[in-house]
């Protein structure tokens, strides 16, 4: 089991994290737009909203309502704010994310979305 699969397994055991799922409208959005578009969106959202040293509105910058599949995945994967990234992924607050950290976050989000699409 690779690191991301192991982390997703750990997250699935959290009552809060496991409560997030893509609804049919979001699954249709993914099917219509394709995973490349979803991956680009994830990269954009992480780079703009999470990556800065001190993100604007940290802890509140990721919508919880059914707005975009990536936002729901961020909450399910504990990649929604710097506090959750620190707690669940040991990515410290107070520094800009590296390209490796951004890639890891996007990868776990996409893997979670792919698993949701199979349901």
Transcribe 62-78 into DSSP letters.
S--SSS-HHHHHHHHTT
| Candidate from 22-26, 35-39, 65-69, 97-101 with smallest mean pLDDT | 65-69
Instruction: For residue 43, tell me if it sits in a domain.
Output: yes
Instruction: For residue 50, tell me if it sits in a domain.
Output: yes
For 115, half-sphere exposure in the C-beta direction (CA atoms, 13 angstrom radius) is 17
Largest Cα–Cα separation, the chain: 37
Tokens read off for 31: 């099917």
Give this prediction's pTM: 0.93
- Predicted confidence (pLDDT) per residue in 53-110, tens digit: 988 888 777 877 778 999 999 999 999 999 999 999 999 999 999 999 999 999 999 9
Domain count for the chain: 1
74 vs 110: CA distance, rounded Å: 10
Tokens read off for 104: 């890891």
- Report whether pLDDT(1) > 60: no
Instruction: For residue 14, tell me if it sits in a domain.
Output: no
Mean pLDDT of 19-43: 96
- Reduced to 3 states (helix: H, G, I; strand: E, B; else coil), residue 60 is coil
Residue-range definition of the domain harbouring residue 106: 3-9+19-117
- Report whether pLDDT(14) > 60: yes
């Amino acid at each position: 089991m690779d690191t991301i699969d192991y982390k997703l397994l750990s997250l699935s055991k959290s009552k809060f994290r496991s409560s997030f799922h893509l609804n049919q409208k979001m699954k249709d959005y993914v099917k219509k737009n394709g995973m490349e578009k979803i991956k680009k969106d994830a990269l954009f959202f992480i780079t703009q909203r999470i990556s800065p040293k001190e993100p604007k509105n940290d802890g509140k910058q990721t919508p919880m309502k059914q707005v975009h599949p990536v936002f729901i995945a961020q909450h399910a994967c504990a990649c929604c704010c710097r506090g959750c990234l620190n707690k669940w992924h040991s990515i410290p607050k107070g520094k800009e994310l590296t390209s490796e950290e951004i890639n890891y976050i996007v990868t776990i989000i996409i893997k979670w979305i792919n698993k949701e699409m199979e349901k």
